[in-house]
Protein backbone atom coordinates (compact mmCIF):
# COMPACT_ATOMS: atom_id res chain seq x y z
CA UNK A 1 0.00 0.00 0.00
CA UNK A 2 2.79 2.42 0.93
CA UNK A 3 4.61 1.42 -2.25
CA UNK A 4 1.43 1.92 -4.26
CA UNK A 5 0.96 5.44 -2.91
CA UNK A 6 4.63 6.20 -3.50
CA UNK A 7 4.40 4.97 -7.11
CA UNK A 8 1.40 7.25 -7.71
CA UNK A 9 3.08 10.19 -5.99
CA UNK A 10 6.14 9.74 -8.20
CA UNK A 11 3.99 9.47 -11.34
CA UNK A 12 2.06 12.60 -10.35
CA UNK A 13 5.30 14.49 -9.74
CA UNK A 14 6.62 13.28 -13.08
CA UNK A 15 3.44 14.43 -14.86
CA UNK A 16 3.37 17.82 -13.11
CA UNK A 17 7.05 18.31 -13.89
CA UNK A 18 6.37 17.62 -17.55
CA UNK A 19 3.50 20.12 -17.62
CA UNK A 20 5.62 22.81 -15.99
CA UNK A 21 8.63 21.85 -18.09
CA UNK A 22 6.92 23.02 -21.28
CA UNK A 23 4.59 25.77 -20.07
CA UNK A 24 3.83 27.16 -23.53
CA UNK A 25 2.87 23.91 -25.23
CA UNK A 26 0.97 22.62 -22.20
CA UNK A 27 -0.76 25.96 -21.62
CA UNK A 28 -1.81 26.18 -25.24
CA UNK A 29 -3.37 22.73 -25.31
CA UNK A 30 -5.11 23.33 -21.97
CA UNK A 31 -6.51 26.59 -23.38
CA UNK A 32 -7.93 24.83 -26.44
CA UNK A 33 -9.43 22.05 -24.30
CA UNK A 34 -10.97 24.65 -21.99
CA UNK A 35 -12.61 26.48 -24.87
CA UNK A 36 -14.13 23.26 -26.17
CA UNK A 37 -15.38 22.38 -22.68
CA UNK A 38 -16.74 25.87 -22.05
CA UNK A 39 -19.20 25.73 -24.96
CA UNK A 40 -21.61 23.08 -23.62
CA UNK A 41 -21.24 24.34 -20.05
CA UNK A 42 -22.13 27.86 -21.12
CA UNK A 43 -25.11 26.55 -23.10
CA UNK A 44 -26.29 24.56 -20.08
CA UNK A 45 -26.02 27.58 -17.78
CA UNK A 46 -27.88 29.82 -20.25
CA UNK A 47 -30.62 27.21 -20.58
CA UNK A 48 -30.96 26.89 -16.85
CA UNK A 49 -31.46 30.62 -16.64
CA UNK A 50 -34.01 30.57 -19.45
CA UNK A 51 -35.86 27.64 -17.90
CA UNK A 52 -36.09 29.52 -14.61
CA UNK A 53 -37.66 32.45 -16.44
CA UNK A 54 -40.10 30.20 -18.27
CA UNK A 55 -41.20 28.43 -15.11
CA UNK A 56 -42.02 31.73 -13.42
CA UNK A 57 -44.12 32.88 -16.32
CA UNK A 58 -47.69 31.74 -15.94
CA UNK A 59 -47.90 28.86 -18.35
CA UNK A 60 -51.34 27.84 -17.13
CA UNK A 61 -53.07 28.20 -20.49
CA UNK A 62 -55.70 30.90 -20.51
CA UNK A 63 -57.72 32.30 -23.36
CA UNK A 64 -59.23 35.77 -23.71
CA UNK A 65 -62.50 35.88 -25.52
CA UNK A 66 -63.30 39.44 -26.71
CA UNK A 67 -66.89 40.27 -27.51
CA UNK A 68 -68.04 42.58 -30.28
CA UNK A 69 -68.44 46.23 -29.22
CA UNK A 70 -72.15 46.14 -29.89
CA UNK A 71 -72.76 43.04 -27.75
CA UNK A 72 -75.54 43.47 -25.22
CA UNK A 73 -75.57 42.19 -21.65
CA UNK A 74 -77.79 39.38 -22.84
CA UNK A 75 -75.28 38.44 -25.56
CA UNK A 76 -72.50 38.44 -22.98
CA UNK A 77 -74.45 36.19 -20.66
CA UNK A 78 -75.12 33.70 -23.50
CA UNK A 79 -71.43 33.56 -24.44
CA UNK A 80 -70.53 33.09 -20.78
CA UNK A 81 -72.88 30.11 -20.51
CA UNK A 82 -71.47 28.59 -23.69
CA UNK A 83 -67.95 28.91 -22.29
CA UNK A 84 -68.87 27.39 -18.92
CA UNK A 85 -70.56 24.46 -20.68
CA UNK A 86 -67.17 23.17 -21.86
CA UNK A 87 -65.81 20.39 -19.57
CA UNK A 88 -62.19 21.39 -20.30
CA UNK A 89 -62.75 24.86 -18.86
CA UNK A 90 -61.70 25.26 -15.22
CA UNK A 91 -62.77 28.86 -14.65
CA UNK A 92 -64.41 31.71 -16.47
CA UNK A 93 -64.03 35.33 -15.40
CA UNK A 94 -66.02 38.14 -16.92
CA UNK A 95 -64.13 41.39 -17.45
CA UNK A 96 -66.64 44.21 -18.15
CA UNK A 97 -65.43 46.87 -20.58
CA UNK A 98 -65.52 49.57 -17.87
CA UNK A 99 -63.26 47.53 -15.61
CA UNK A 100 -60.83 46.85 -18.45
CA UNK A 101 -60.72 50.56 -19.26
CA UNK A 102 -60.05 51.46 -15.63
CA UNK A 103 -57.23 48.89 -15.39
CA UNK A 104 -55.65 50.12 -18.57
CA UNK A 105 -55.76 53.71 -17.30
CA UNK A 106 -54.13 52.76 -13.98
CA UNK A 107 -51.39 50.39 -15.14
CA UNK A 108 -50.14 52.24 -18.21
CA UNK A 109 -49.07 55.72 -19.09
CA UNK A 110 -51.94 56.08 -21.49
CA UNK A 111 -54.12 58.00 -19.00
CA UNK A 112 -54.09 61.27 -20.92
CA UNK A 113 -54.74 59.61 -24.20
CA UNK A 114 -57.60 57.59 -22.75
CA UNK A 115 -59.09 60.66 -21.11
CA UNK A 116 -59.22 62.38 -24.47
CA UNK A 117 -61.42 59.63 -25.91
CA UNK A 118 -65.13 60.34 -25.92
CA UNK A 119 -66.06 56.70 -25.43
CA UNK A 120 -64.56 53.46 -24.12
CA UNK A 121 -62.92 51.63 -27.05
CA UNK A 122 -62.58 48.36 -25.15
CA UNK A 123 -65.00 45.45 -25.48
CA UNK A 124 -66.37 43.21 -22.78
CA UNK A 125 -64.23 40.11 -22.42
CA UNK A 126 -63.99 36.72 -20.75
CA UNK A 127 -60.75 35.28 -19.37
CA UNK A 128 -61.07 31.51 -19.58
CA UNK A 129 -58.69 29.07 -17.86
CA UNK A 130 -58.39 25.74 -19.54
CA UNK A 131 -57.39 22.67 -17.54
CA UNK A 132 -55.70 20.90 -20.45
CA UNK A 133 -52.45 22.26 -21.89
CA UNK A 134 -52.74 20.11 -25.01
CA UNK A 135 -52.18 22.56 -27.89
CA UNK A 136 -54.52 20.68 -30.26
CA UNK A 137 -57.41 20.73 -27.78
CA UNK A 138 -56.73 24.40 -27.11
CA UNK A 139 -56.81 25.21 -30.80
CA UNK A 140 -60.12 23.35 -31.23
CA UNK A 141 -61.67 25.35 -28.36
CA UNK A 142 -60.43 28.64 -29.82
CA UNK A 143 -61.90 27.70 -33.13
CA UNK A 144 -65.28 26.81 -31.65
CA UNK A 145 -65.44 29.95 -29.50
CA UNK A 146 -64.58 32.33 -32.30
CA UNK A 147 -67.71 31.10 -34.07
CA UNK A 148 -70.03 31.98 -31.16
CA UNK A 149 -72.39 34.89 -31.93
CA UNK A 150 -71.11 38.33 -30.96
CA UNK A 151 -67.59 37.05 -30.31
CA UNK A 152 -65.10 39.30 -32.06
CA UNK A 153 -61.75 37.69 -31.37
CA UNK A 154 -60.20 34.81 -29.35
CA UNK A 155 -56.59 35.23 -28.16
CA UNK A 156 -54.52 32.75 -26.18
CA UNK A 157 -51.97 34.73 -24.13
CA UNK A 158 -50.24 31.68 -22.75
CA UNK A 159 -49.11 30.60 -26.18
CA UNK A 160 -45.71 32.24 -26.13
CA UNK A 161 -44.84 30.77 -22.73
CA UNK A 162 -45.81 27.31 -23.92
CA UNK A 163 -43.74 27.81 -27.03
CA UNK A 164 -40.78 29.01 -24.92
CA UNK A 165 -41.02 25.92 -22.73
CA UNK A 166 -41.02 23.72 -25.83
CA UNK A 167 -37.99 25.53 -27.22
CA UNK A 168 -36.16 25.11 -23.94
CA UNK A 169 -36.85 21.37 -23.99
CA UNK A 170 -35.53 21.21 -27.52
CA UNK A 171 -32.42 23.24 -26.67
CA UNK A 172 -31.76 20.98 -23.67
CA UNK A 173 -31.73 17.91 -25.89
CA UNK A 174 -29.50 19.72 -28.35
CA UNK A 175 -27.09 20.80 -25.58
CA UNK A 176 -26.94 17.28 -24.17
CA UNK A 177 -26.14 15.83 -27.58
CA UNK A 178 -23.63 18.57 -28.38
CA UNK A 179 -22.10 18.22 -24.92
CA UNK A 180 -21.61 14.49 -25.35
CA UNK A 181 -20.06 15.10 -28.74
CA UNK A 182 -17.65 17.75 -27.42
CA UNK A 183 -16.77 15.56 -24.41
CA UNK A 184 -15.73 12.84 -26.83
CA UNK A 185 -13.74 15.43 -28.77
CA UNK A 186 -11.91 16.41 -25.55
CA UNK A 187 -11.05 12.78 -24.78
CA UNK A 188 -9.67 12.28 -28.28
CA UNK A 189 -7.72 15.55 -28.19
CA UNK A 190 -6.07 14.44 -24.94
CA UNK A 191 -5.45 11.03 -26.52
CA UNK A 192 -3.66 12.72 -29.38
CA UNK A 193 -1.53 14.86 -27.05
CA UNK A 194 -0.59 11.82 -24.98
CA UNK A 195 0.22 9.86 -28.11
CA UNK A 196 2.75 12.53 -29.05
CA UNK A 197 4.18 12.38 -25.53
CA UNK A 198 4.59 8.63 -25.66
CA UNK A 199 6.31 9.00 -29.01
CA UNK A 200 8.87 11.44 -27.60
CA UNK A 201 9.41 9.20 -24.57
CA UNK A 202 9.62 5.96 -26.51
CA UNK A 203 13.19 5.25 -25.34
CA UNK A 204 12.25 5.69 -21.73
CA UNK A 205 9.22 3.43 -22.13
CA UNK A 206 11.29 0.77 -23.85
CA UNK A 207 14.14 0.83 -21.30
CA UNK A 208 11.65 0.84 -18.42
CA UNK A 209 10.01 -2.27 -19.83
CA UNK A 210 13.42 -3.95 -20.15
CA UNK A 211 14.35 -3.31 -16.51
CA UNK A 212 11.05 -4.60 -15.15
CA UNK A 213 8.27 -2.03 -15.58
CA UNK A 214 4.82 -3.57 -15.94
CA UNK A 215 2.25 -2.13 -18.34
CA UNK A 216 0.63 -0.35 -15.39
CA UNK A 217 3.99 1.17 -14.38
CA UNK A 218 4.44 2.57 -17.87
CA UNK A 219 0.88 3.89 -18.08
CA UNK A 220 0.83 5.61 -14.70
CA UNK A 221 2.62 8.91 -15.45
CA UNK A 222 0.71 9.34 -18.73
CA UNK A 223 -2.62 8.76 -17.02
CA UNK A 224 -1.75 11.36 -14.41
CA UNK A 225 -0.72 13.73 -17.16
CA UNK A 226 -4.06 13.31 -18.93
CA UNK A 227 -5.93 13.70 -15.66
CA UNK A 228 -4.03 16.87 -14.71
CA UNK A 229 -4.47 18.36 -18.15
CA UNK A 230 -8.19 17.60 -18.09
CA UNK A 231 -8.68 18.98 -14.58
CA UNK A 232 -6.85 22.22 -15.41
CA UNK A 233 -8.80 22.61 -18.65
CA UNK A 234 -12.06 22.00 -16.77
CA UNK A 235 -11.21 24.61 -14.13
CA UNK A 236 -10.27 27.10 -16.85
CA UNK A 237 -13.52 26.33 -18.71
CA UNK A 238 -15.49 27.08 -15.53
CA UNK A 239 -13.64 30.39 -15.28
CA UNK A 240 -14.49 31.17 -18.92
CA UNK A 241 -18.15 30.42 -18.25
CA UNK A 242 -18.14 32.66 -15.17
CA UNK A 243 -16.64 35.52 -17.22
CA UNK A 244 -18.96 35.03 -20.17
CA UNK A 245 -21.89 34.72 -17.76
CA UNK A 246 -21.08 38.01 -16.08
CA UNK A 247 -20.87 39.74 -19.44
CA UNK A 248 -24.09 38.17 -20.77
CA UNK A 249 -25.88 39.02 -17.55
CA UNK A 250 -25.04 42.68 -18.05
CA UNK A 251 -26.54 42.45 -21.54
CA UNK A 252 -29.62 40.60 -20.33
CA UNK A 253 -30.19 43.10 -17.52
CA UNK A 254 -31.08 45.62 -20.22
CA UNK A 255 -33.32 43.22 -22.10
CA UNK A 256 -35.12 41.41 -19.31
CA UNK A 257 -37.22 44.20 -17.69
CA UNK A 258 -38.90 44.92 -21.01
CA UNK A 259 -40.44 41.47 -20.74
CA UNK A 260 -41.28 41.99 -17.08
CA UNK A 261 -38.83 39.24 -16.17
CA UNK A 262 -36.33 39.15 -13.34
CA UNK A 263 -33.17 37.26 -14.24
CA UNK A 264 -31.68 34.56 -12.11
CA UNK A 265 -27.93 34.54 -11.39
CA UNK A 266 -26.29 33.61 -14.66
CA UNK A 267 -23.25 31.77 -13.36
CA UNK A 268 -21.69 28.63 -11.92
CA UNK A 269 -21.55 27.72 -8.25
CA UNK A 270 -18.16 26.61 -6.88
CA UNK A 271 -19.52 23.08 -6.55
CA UNK A 272 -20.64 23.06 -10.17
CA UNK A 273 -17.24 24.33 -11.29
CA UNK A 274 -15.70 21.45 -9.34
CA UNK A 275 -17.99 19.01 -11.14
CA UNK A 276 -16.94 20.46 -14.51
CA UNK A 277 -13.26 20.07 -13.54
CA UNK A 278 -13.85 16.50 -12.30
CA UNK A 279 -15.66 15.48 -15.48
CA UNK A 280 -12.89 17.04 -17.57
CA UNK A 281 -10.26 15.20 -15.47
CA UNK A 282 -12.08 11.92 -16.10
CA UNK A 283 -12.18 12.68 -19.83
CA UNK A 284 -8.45 13.43 -19.78
CA UNK A 285 -7.75 10.19 -17.97
CA UNK A 286 -9.86 8.22 -20.45
CA UNK A 287 -8.14 9.86 -23.40
CA UNK A 288 -4.71 9.07 -21.96
CA UNK A 289 -5.76 5.50 -21.33
CA UNK A 290 -6.84 5.04 -24.95
CA UNK A 291 -3.60 6.52 -26.28
CA UNK A 292 -1.21 4.66 -23.98
CA UNK A 293 -2.96 1.36 -24.58
CA UNK A 294 -2.44 1.72 -28.31
CA UNK A 295 1.14 2.93 -28.06
CA UNK A 296 2.16 0.29 -25.55
CA UNK A 297 1.02 -2.39 -27.93
CA UNK A 298 3.32 -1.08 -30.61
CA UNK A 299 6.27 -0.91 -28.17
CA UNK A 300 5.89 -4.47 -26.90
CA UNK A 301 5.40 -5.77 -30.43
CA UNK A 302 8.80 -4.36 -31.33
CA UNK A 303 10.47 -6.26 -28.53
- Per CB under 8 A, residues contacting other proteins are 3-4, 6-7, 10, 203-204, 206-217, 300, 303
In whole angstroms, how close is the CB of 25 to other proteins at the nearest point?
17
Return d(Cα 224, Cα 226) in angstroms, integer: 5
Q: Which is nearer to other proteins, 13 or 84 (CB)?
A: 13
Q: Pseudo-torsion of CA 111, 125, 143, 159, nearest 10°?
A: 50
In whole angstroms, how close is the CB of 3 to other proteins at the nearest point?
4
Q: Which is nearer to other proteins, 1 or 254 (CB)?
A: 1
In whole angstroms, how close is the CB of 210 to other proteins at the nearest point?
6
In whole angstroms, how close is the CB of 297 to other proteins at the nearest point?
11
In whole angstroms, how close is the CB of 208 to other proteins at the nearest point?
6
Terminal-residue alpha carbon distance, the chain: 31
Sheet holding 125-130, edge to edge: 89-95, 125-130, 62-67, 151-156
Closest CA to 143 of 133, 134, 131, 156: 156
The length of the chain, given as a count of residues: 303
Q: Which is nearer to other proteins, 107 or 200 (CB)?
A: 200
Q: Which is nearer to other proteins, 68 or 213 (CB)?
A: 213
Q: Which is nearer to other proteins, 136 or 210 (CB)?
A: 210
Q: Which is nearer to other proteins, 112 or 203 (CB)?
A: 203
Return d(Cα 181, Cα 179) in angstroms, integer: 5
In whole angstroms, how close is the CB of 216 to other proteins at the nearest point?
7
Angle between helices 215-255 and 202-210 (to 10 degrees): 140
Name the percent of the chain in helix, strand, coil, to the closest 5.
Answer: 75, 10, 20
Amino acid sequence: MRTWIRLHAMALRDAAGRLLGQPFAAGFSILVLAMVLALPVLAAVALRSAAAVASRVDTDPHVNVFLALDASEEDARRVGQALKAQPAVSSVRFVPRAEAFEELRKTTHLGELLASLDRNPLPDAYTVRVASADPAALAALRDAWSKLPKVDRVAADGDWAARLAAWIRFARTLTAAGGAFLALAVAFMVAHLIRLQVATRRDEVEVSRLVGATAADVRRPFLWFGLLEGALAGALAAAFVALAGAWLQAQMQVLAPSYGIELQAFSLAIREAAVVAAVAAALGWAGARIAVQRELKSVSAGR
